[in-house]
Amino acid sequence: MTPRANVFLTLASKNAVVFVGFLIAGMGMPVLPIHVSRDLGFGTFVIGLITGSQFCAALMTRLWAGDFADRKGPKKAVILGLSLAAAAGALYLASLIAICRPSLSAAILVVGRGVLGAGESLIITGSVAWGLATVGPQHSGKVIAWIGTAMFGALAAGAPIGSALFSMHGFPAIAAATILLPLLMAAMVAPLEPVPGRSSPSASRLNVVRTVWLPGLGSALASLGYGTILTFSTLLFVSREWDSGWLAVTSFATALVVGRIALGHVPDRFGGPATALIFALVEASGLLTMGVASHPVAALIGAGLVGFGYSLVFPGFGIAVVRAAPAESRGMAMGLYSACLDVALALSGPLLGLVGDAAGVPVIFLASGCVVSLSALVAVSIMRRSRTTTT
C-alpha cells in the first residue's frame, strides 16, 4: 500500500465524522435563506445576520475548542460537537413553533445557528487534531485537504438533499435531520480508539497568535468567497429568475472536492503559500464571473471556479501554521487559524447583505471577488518572510 493510500485510510474515520457533521450544514444552507425570506418575511440583512451568527459562535469557540482537543483529546471534542449540533436541530424546531411571531422565530434561529457553529467548531478542530496526531505533521497538507474534502463533499451532497426535503416537508424536515444525524454519528464514533490529551504544558497563547495571524489573514480574505456562495448564491439565482439555485452550492462544493482529491498533495510538495497565491486568483475570477453572468450556466461555471480555487487556499495557508506551531499546541493553533475564517464569515454575512440591499445581489459577488484577490498579496508576504528567515 502506498504511503498516500495509507494516510487516506487512517483519516477515513475522521473524514466520516466531518462528513456527517457538515452534511446538516449543507442541507440547511440553500433553504434557510428561502425560509427566512418567504416564511418569515425578512430581507438579505436578516438572512446574513442569521447565517453570520453561526460563524460568530464558531469564532468565539475556536480557540477554546482547540485547547479542549489538546487537553481532553480530540475524540471528546468531536463527540461534544456532535451533541451541540443535535441541540441546534432542537432549536430549529422551537423556531417553527414560534413562526407566527417572525421576530421571535428569527431570534431562535440566530441562537440555533450559533449553537451549530460551536458544534462545528469542535467537530472540525477535533478532527484535524485527531488526524495530525495519527499521521504526523509531515502530512499536514493532506490532513487539512482531505478533512476539508469531507466537509465540502457534505455540503455538495447536502444542498440537493436539503432542497428535496424542504420541497417535500418544509423546514421541519431539516430540523429533524439536524437532530438525528449527529446523534447517529456520535454512536458510531464512541467505539473508536481515542488519542490522549497533552501531558506537557501548552505554549503561550501569544506565541500561538504570532504563528497564526498572517496566514490566518490570508485565509480570512479568501474565505469571503466561501461565505458568499453559501449565503447569497441561491438569492442570485432568484434575483435573475433562474431555477435550481442550489446547483451553485453543489457546483462550488463538487469542484472543491475534485480539486482536493486530485491536487491535495500539491501544498506539501510545492509549498503552501505558493499554492495559496495561485488558487486565490482562480477563486477571485470565479466570483467576478458570477457577478457579471447573464446565463445560469455561466454562473455555475463561476461557482465551480470559486470552489476549485478555494480548494487549496485554506490548506495552503494552513501548512504555514502547522509547521510553525509548537507540537503540544497544534490543536490550539488550528483552532485559532480556523477562527480567522470565522471572523470573515461572521462579518461578511451582514456587511455583504447591506451591499446587496443597497446595490443588488450581483454586486455582492463583484465586491467579494475583489476582497478575495487580496489574499494573494498575503501569500507573497509569507513567501518573502520565509526567504528572509532562511537567509
CA-wise closest residue to 122 among 55, 204, 61: 61
Residue 181 confidence class, pLDDT cut points 50, 70, 90? very high
Residue 373 confidence class, pLDDT cut points 50, 70, 90? very high
Condensed to tens digits (0 to 9), the pLDDT of residues 53-89 reads 887 787 778 778 877 887 888 888 899 999 999 999 9
Top-confidence range, 43-47, 65-69, 364-368, 383-387: 364-368
Condensed to tens digits (0 to 9), the pLDDT of residues 236-288 reads 888 888 877 778 888 888 888 788 778 877 777 777 788 989 999 999 999 99
- Block residue for cell numbers 440553500: 30
Please report the pLDDT score of residue 204 as a whole number.
59
d(CA 256, CA 277): 16
Please report the pLDDT score of residue 262 as a whole number.
82
Number of residues in the chain? 391
CB 176: neighbour CB atoms within 10 A?
Answer: 15
Please report the pLDDT score of residue 302 as a whole number.
95
Q: Which CATH number fits domain 3-390: 1.10.3720.10, 1.20.1250.20, 1.10.10.410, 1.10.4080.10?
A: 1.20.1250.20
Mean pLDDT within 138-162: 74
- The domain spans of the chain are 3-390
Q: What percent of the chain has pLDDT over 70?
A: 87
Dihedral over Cα of 203, 209, 210, 216: its sign: positive
Please report the pLDDT score of residue 1 as a whole number.
45
Please report the pLDDT score of residue 198 as a whole number.
58
Residue 187's contacts (CB-CB under 8 Å, 6 or more residues apart) are none
- The answer to whether 134 touches 10, Cβ cutoff 8 Å, is yes
CA-wise closest residue to 65 among 142, 9, 118, 2: 118
Please report the pLDDT score of residue 331 as a whole number.
67
Please report the pLDDT score of residue 303 as a whole number.
93
Q: How far apart are the first and last CA of the chain?
A: 39
In the predicted structure, residue 140 carries a pLDDT above the cut 80? no
CA-wise closest residue to 239 among 182, 290, 278: 290
State the greatest distance between any 2 C-alpha atoms of the chain, in Å, as a whole number: 66
Q: Which tops the pLDDT comparison, 374 or 60?
A: 374
Please report the pLDDT score of residue 287 as a whole number.
95
- Block residue for cell numbers 444542498: 159
Condensed to tens digits (0 to 9), the pLDDT of residues 1-58 reads 445 556 667 677 777 888 888 888 878 877 888 888 888 888 878 888 887 788 778 7
In the predicted structure, residue 199 carries a pLDDT above the cut 70? no
d(CA 44, CA 236): 11
d(CA 253, CA 245): 14
**Helix segments in 190-295, DSSP class H:** 205-239, 246-263, 266-270, 272-292
Q: Using CA atoms in the order 104, 106, 109, 113, what is the torsion angle rounded to 10 degrees?
A: -140
In the predicted structure, residue 300 carries a pLDDT above the cut 90? yes
Q: What percent of the chain has pLDDT over 90?
A: 23
In the predicted structure, residue 367 carries a pLDDT above the cut 50? yes
Please report the pLDDT score of residue 135 as a whole number.
66
- The answer to whether 320 touches 210, Cβ cutoff 8 Å, is no
In the predicted structure, residue 227 carries a pLDDT above the cut 80? yes
Please report the pLDDT score of residue 104 as a whole number.
93
Amino acid (one-letter) located at 203? A
- The answer to whether 277 touches 369, Cβ cutoff 8 Å, is no
Mean pLDDT within 317-321: 81
Q: Nine-digit cell at 60?
A: 468565539
d(CA 51, CA 113): 7
Mean of the per-residue pLDDT values for the chain? 82
